[in-house]
Structure 1
Amino acid sequence: MDENRERGMETPDLRLTAADERVYRDIAEGNPVDAPASVARLSALGLIRHLGDRWAALDPRVAARQLLTAHHGALARTLQQMSQVATLEALSRHYDPSRLYGGPASEFVDSKKLMNSRIADALADADEGLLTVQPGVPTDRDPAVLRESIRRARALLTRGISVRSLYPAAALTHRPTAEYVDVVLEGGGEVRVGRDLPPRMVLAGQHLFVDNHVYPSEADAGWHIKDVACAAFARTVFEGYWSRSTPWQEARAALTDVVTTPRQRMILRGLAEGDTQSAVAKHVGISYREVGRDLEAIRAVLGLRSTAQLMVWWATSRDRDVP
């Protein structure tokens, strides 16, 4: 058998044609043959050998075993090479941070559980800090999720990784959020309160996580964006809102003399900008009726009869300056 086959390199097609089989039979019987193509194939497969002035047939069982051995060796080498693919792919951790153009496609993440898993994986290797924006009115979270968020923040801060978060003023009086913020602040992180924040996002190093804005029907889904340009843009947006926001401690201190709640101030700011109550409800993340109840509560505290009177009061109120 030739050296290439013994080394597991490419071999001819093993399928024999009827003509190939007839040529082999004639050679085995000592008959003359005149079929160069079949002769070449049979020779390459180790089924015949040229002896002097004639071709001689070789034992096909020996040729079959040799071919089988060669293919086993080639398969073993292929499997060994395939095992190294993961090592090559892992080099992306060096490539991704430095590439300037393009990047891998974003991943659609179809559940909150999977999103949290992806964020945890990204944070395991993060070296550029964690940035988060939570723009909506806080809702009660699963205690287990809250504990995991606190554990994750502590772990990052212990590693010396910065943690910065942006919240609306409504978060100031939300106990679970305040519990998380206290841990971040105690560990050296920073939290600020801002107005009209951008959509929710989590930026872990070069990994950007956002809500699902593509398929509205998939409310619990999101996107894991791995492109360096998108991550850099999100970081710039975050920094712009961060510079215009109030440190959490200052915002909490300003609550002592105010009449309105953070959510009520969000409603009044929306109305002052000309939005309808329906539009304000959607922006704040509450129902139309809840907006009405909040307005009624403020009027009761101030002794006012109408929303028009309330907006006149708001125009000169010190509450306007509180986040």
Structure 2
Amino acid sequence: MSEREISITPDTSRLTETELHTYRKALQGEELPANEPGLASLLERAVLLPNTHQTGTYVPAHPGYLQTQLTTAVLNVLTEARDALAGIPAHVRELEAEQERFNHSPGPVGTLLLNSIPDVNAETIRTIQGAEFEILTSQPGYRKPRVLKGALPRDLQAAQRGVTVRTIYRTSGRSNSTQRDWVAVMTHAGAQVRTLGEDFLRLIIVDRKHAFFEVYGEDGAVQMETAAWYTQDRGVCALLAAHFHQQWERADPWVPEEGEGAAGPEEDTKTTKVQRTILRGIVAGKSYATIGQLLGYSERTVTSHVSTLREALGMNSVAQVTHWWATSPERLLP
């Protein structure tokens, strides 16, 4: 019997009203025609047995035997249901292979709008827990300590079972102590983390089959901060993964205690933290005014920091400074 043919009665052990009426007739010794409503099912389950001494009449099964027969009937239904459930994953894989064969973009979910933070959290947790080989995330905003601590066990479990985990944070996140702790634990488990000093999209991409991204309006601004789009469209997932890797290649590795093996302690470097942040902004194409807004400085203050560094390096132009910065190990510092 296949999945399509299985029909499970809510309570196989109980008689229907029709069957009970026929059962009572048999108990009273009435002769019953072969087409008596309910008689066939009573005989099939051995609730009634033919009276071998009088044709057309029937005798009830002994209660002990009856219990055994009804129990067996229910167990048979359960066994069929169990076998049908066990076959579902293989059946789904078979259909998925057929979809891929004909270049069909699977996605019974399509692109779904998750309207609230609980909905977003529930779906991302479920998807990340089911990751098979890769989790890509980019987090441009500030992540609250409780969010990071809550996500750590889930993220750590994925890394420990061999899933590739890559995360991009904003450069400013290097000063977040909770974020540094998350990075230390995750990189020790094999995850890779990088930082970027420019704007980028907030994304979660799992196995190139699932993607979560923010809801944007026509003006290019985030429209619903508590909502997210969830898609299983393979084309969209592939596009977002390509975007992630473009940003990944431009980002700087974040390795715990990276200064010890890269450029030494802060006092031995040629740049300060503020100057490094400014340089990352310049490389990203931001104006001095924009960089100043991000740092809370005036444009003149940003210009002063750049001039001070240029003079300390003995260079004549900002172009020379940015060229030096592109190959300097100091770009790996927070």
2:117 to 107, 112, 118: 112
Find the counterpart in structure 1 of residue 165 from structure 2: 163
- How does 1:156-305 map onto structure 2 within 5 Å? 156-194=158-196, 196=198, 198-205=200-207, 206-214=209-217, 216-249=222-255, 253-254=262-263, 256-261=269-274, 263-269=277-283, 275=287, 277=289, 280=290, 290-293=294-297, 295=299, 298=302
Task: Please say which of residues 118-127 and 95-104 is displaced more in the overlay.
Answer: 95-104
Deviation of 1:92 (Å): 4.3
- Give the 3-state SS of the residue equivalent to 1:103 in structure 2: coil
Q: Closer, same or farther in 2 for the Cα pair 1:156/1:266, shift >3 Å?
A: same
Find 2:152's aligned residue among 141, 150, 153: 150
Contact 1:131 1:163 in 2 (8 A): yes
Residues 216 and 223 in structure 2, CA contact (< 8 A), matched pair in contact too = no
> What SS does the aligned partner of 1:113 have?
helix
Q: Aligned partner of 2:118: which letter?
A: K
User: 1:148 offset after TM fit, Å?
Assistant: 1.9
The Cα shift of 1:268 comes to: 3.9
Displacement of 1:257 in angstroms is 3.6
Map of 1:17 onto structure 2: none
RMSD over equivalenced CA pairs, Å: 4.3
TM-score (norm 2): 0.55
Q: Which structure's CA Rg is the greater one?
A: 1
**CA distance in 1 between partners of 2:231 and 2:253 (Å):** 29
Residues 200 and 302 (structure 1), Cα distance of their counterparts in 2 relative to 1, 3 Å cut: closer
Give, in angstroms, the shift of residue 260 of structure 1: 4.2
Q: Give the secondary-structure state (helix, strand or coil) at the position aligned to 2:149.
A: helix
**TM-score, normalized by length of structure 1?**
0.57
In 2, distance between residues paired with 1:84 and 1:107?
32
Residue identity in the other structure for 2:154: R
Separation in 2, partners of 1:300, 1:132? 36
Q: 1:236 to 1:153 in 2, by over 3 A?
A: same
Q: Higher relative CO (CA 8 A, sep ≥ 6), structure 1 or 2?
A: 1
Q: Distance in 1 between matches of 2:96 and 2:179?
A: 33
Structure 1, unpaired ranges of 5+: 1-7, 9-62, 70-79, 282-287, 305-311
Unmatched tracts of structure 2, length 5 or more:
1-6, 8-34, 42-77, 309-315
Amino acid at match of 2:278: Q
The answer to whether the aligner puts 1:124 opposite 2:129 as a matched pair is: yes
Cα distance in 2, alignment partners of residues 141 and 240 from structure 1: 26
Within 2, Cα distance between the matches of 1:292 and 1:245?
A: 23
Measured at CA, do residues 291 and 240 of structure 1 come closer, stay the same or move farther in structure 2, by a change above 3 Å?
Answer: closer
Tell me the secondary structure at the aligned position of residue 220 of structure 1. strand
- Superposition map of 1:18-29 within 5 A: none
**Partner secondary structure for residue 226 of structure 2:** coil
* Aligned-residue offset at 1:103: 2.6
